[in-house]
């Protein structure tokens, strides 16, 4: 690992702010934008997990649309023709968190191999990584569609070691979703939780190897453990 770490990042909520859709949601549904954005995200995660548990895979784009349409109905918001499409288009230009580009640049310059492992469809990921400008740092794009399941299914996490040709513990997996960081730890990754919201640890019987408030702390964790010590913590 002295030649550079292998690091995989979650995308939605970790590199890119899913709540950056709030501005457009507020434009379309004044006074309801924040509530719509939050319910949409909640149902998106819930639907992905329910489909995985039932073995009823659908593309992440379809799950995202279904979650949005449910949220509009639940909040009794009357969407004009084209409003659903306008909101879905926001996923093509989600804003990166301010700490993301500097952290990725630092890791990239260190010689680390950087990739993403996301629930998002390949086409969705390619588009939003280019639009956000983060593609310049990313060497590998792994989509859950390859496993026809969503995280926390082991088959999704298995994509990383298979592509990078190393053992799970030799990869740092970084996510701002604690359940995702825990799922990666279950699989055997060295996981890092970016806890931007100062939330409590999920009670799942497992802990990430590292926790911090920003992606810069994740980068520091990677560099300290792979360059100074030469190995990742077990």
Residue 121 bears catalytic tag: no
Q: Are strands 95-96 and 210-212 parallel, antiparallel or unpaired?
A: unpaired
Burial (CB count within 10 angstroms: exposed 0-12, middle 13-18, buried 19+), residue 49: middle
| Count of alpha carbons within 13 angstroms of residue 161, beta-carbon side | 15
Residue pair 199/178 in contact (Cβ under 8 Å)? The answer is yes
The one catalytic residue among 10, 17, 121, 180: 10
**Longest distance between any two alpha carbons in the chain, whole Å:** 57
DSSP 52-107: HHHT----HHHHHHHHHHHHHHHTT--PPTTHHHHHHHGGGSPEEPTTHHHHHHHH
User: Which of the residues are catalytic?
Assistant: 10
């Amino acid at each position: 690992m002295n030649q550079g770490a292998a690091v995989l990042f979650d995308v939605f909520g970790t590199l890119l702010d899913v709540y950056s859709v709030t501005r457009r949601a507020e434009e379309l549904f004044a006074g309801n934008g924040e509530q719509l954005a939050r319910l949409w995200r909640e149902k998106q995660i819930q639907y992905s997990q329910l489909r995985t548990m039932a073995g009823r895979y659908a593309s992440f784009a379809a799950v995202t649309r279904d979650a949005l349409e449910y949220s509009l109905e639940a909040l009794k918001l009357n969407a004009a023709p084209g409003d659903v499409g306008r909101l879905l288009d926001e996923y093509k230009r989600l804003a990166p968190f301010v700490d993301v580009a500097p952290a990725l640049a630092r890791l990239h310059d260190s010689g680390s191999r950087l990739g993403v492992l996301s629930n998002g469809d390949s086409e969705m990921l390619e588009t939003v990584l280019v639009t956000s400008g983060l593609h310049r740092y990313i060497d590998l794009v792994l989509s859950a569609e390859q496993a026809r399941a969503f995280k926390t299914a082991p088959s999704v996490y298995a994509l990383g070691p298979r592509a990078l040709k190393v053992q799970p513990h030799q990869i740092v997996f970084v996510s701002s979703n604690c359940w995702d960081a825990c799922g990666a730890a279950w699989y055997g990754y060295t996981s890092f939780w970016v806890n931007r919201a100062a939330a409590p640890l999920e009670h799942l019987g497992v802990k990430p190897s590292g926790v911090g408030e920003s992606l810069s702390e994740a980068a520091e964790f990677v560099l300290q453990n792979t360059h100074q010590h030469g190995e990742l913590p077990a």
